Every structure is written in structure tokens, then in C-alpha cells.
Amino acid sequence: MKILIIYGTTEGQTRKISHFLKDEAENEGHTVTLADSSDNPPAPQGYDVVLIGASLHGHKYQVTVSHYIKENAEALNHVKSGFFSVSLTAADNDAESWKELQEITANFLTETGWKPLIVEQVAGALLYTKYDFFKKLIMRMIAKRTGRKTDTSTDYEYTDWTKVKAFLERMLKN
């Protein structure tokens, strides 16, 4: 099977997840093309499965991912496709936060015109060591409020790799 994985990333966790998906699919014998949404990624035509990932920051996904989807929505809606949304909110157990996350994702998909077969919410990471001073301060305040770790000298990964692999398996089965 030919698989296309497109991703948008800010600190690199969505890139890491995309590389994981690529490696897992290749281990299963599939041919995979991996592309950053900001690097003129290939069109979805000719692929059996298209996976698109983006990270959520300030209630918005990367603009380059949005542009790619809008430009290719018709083709994406005619191929088996899935969206993985990466955020710290996906690591929460708070029902209100999850409701807001689902609404943001649904609005994004409506706005872009894309109807993926599967939408997966994936927990991201607190990458304090990659943040500038102000972002580190803001993220630490958010982390403290939500009960996450606040030691800014290290990074904290919340990604559930078993869940990511299960998303890929569901995409390859359907």
C-alpha cells in the first residue's frame, strides 16, 4: 500500500509522531512518503492512504496544514484518509476540555472541507527546553493549573504510542 503522511509541527512532537507512523507502516511492508506541510508536500492522488497530522496551539492548527487540506479537499475526500490532532488537552481527563477539543477539531475540518475516515486525538508533549522565555512561562502556568509537571529544565512527553499505533492499524484495515 502507498501511504502519504503530511504533518505540521511547532516544537517537533507532531513530526516525531509522523516518523513513528512512517516507521510502523514501513515495518508492515508499506511504501511511505513523509512530508512537512511547509515544504510543498505532494498531492494525495496516487496514494492508497493519506494521514495528516497537526498540533493545536492557541486553539489553532498550523496554517500550512489548513492550506494543504483546502487545496486538496476534494482528492482527500476520495481517498482513505485520517487526521491526527496533537495537543496537551488530549492528555487530560477533563470532560469540558475534551468537549472544547472536539469542537475545535470539528470546526477545523468543516472549515477545510475535509471529511477524514478517522480522527484521532493524540496527547502531545511539554517541551520546555524548546520554548522561549515567555512561552516557557505561559506553558508552566498552564501546566501548574492542569496538574502537569512544572520543572522547566526538562521535557515531558504524554504521547500514548500504543494509541498512535492503533490509529495506524485502523487506517490500514478500513
- Report pLDDT digits (tens) over 114-156: 999 999 999 999 899 999 999 899 889 888 888 888 899 999 9
* pTM exceeding 0.75: yes
Claim to verify: residue 86 and residue 152 sit in the same structural domain? no
> What are the angstrom distances between the C-alpha of 84 and each of 19, 44, 99, 125, 148?
13, 16, 16, 15, 22
Q: Which residues neighbour 66 within 8 Å (Cβ) at sequence distance 6 or greater?
A: 108, 111, 112
Residue 62, pLDDT score: 97
| Residues 68 and 132 reside in one and the same domain | no
Residue 27 to residue 5: CA distance in whole angstroms: 15
Give pLDDT, residue 174: 60
Residues 12 and 79 in one domain: yes
Interatomic CA distance for residues 11 and 130, integer angstroms: 7
Determine which of 65-69, 99-103, 149-153 has the lowest per-residue pLDDT on average.
149-153
Question: Total domain count for the chain?
Answer: 2
Domain span including residue 16: 2-124+159-173
What are φ and ψ of residue 17, in 5° steps?
A: -65, -40
Residues 51 and 133 in one domain: no
Same structural domain, 17 and 69: yes
Do residue 116 and residue 131 come from a single domain?
A: no
- Identify whether residues 10 and 37 lie together within a single domain: yes
57: β partners: 60
Please write the tens of the pLDDT for every residue from 18-31: 999 999 999 999 99
Query: Is the same domain home to 19 and 94?
Result: yes
pLDDT at residue 106 greater than cutoff 70 = yes
| 53 and 105 Cβ atoms separated by less than 8 Å | no
